[in-house]
Amino acid sequence: MSSHATITVEELKARLDAGEKLNLIDVREPEEVAYGMIPGAVHLRMGEIPARLDEIPQDEEVIFICRSSHRSDQVCQYLSSLGYKGVTNMIGGMMAWVQLPE
């Protein structure tokens, strides 16, 4: 059982469409990000997370994104184990995001 929250792509899109300011971190590799990112997301490769913890808010919601939600789930588990409070995994990743209707 995960110790962190999840969000669907539909829920995320609705929040972004409503103008909500969100902390989005895309943990994919550069060659994956080249195909596109969710507007407003920050690119922080999964492998860089341990060295760049100071760039990730500890007490705010932060939504993590990857290709299919496997790597972002691992990042969320890792950060939760360090005491981060608002880590959220986007279910389905960018594979689900690109399936959303315009």
Q: Which of 7, 25, 65, 66 is catalytic?
A: 66
- Whether the CB-CB separation of 62 and 86 falls below 8 Å is answered with yes
Amino acid at site 51: A
User: Active site includes 76?
Assistant: no
* Number of CB atoms found within 10 A of residue 6's CB: 16
d(CA 39, CA 51): 24
Residues classed as catalytic: 66
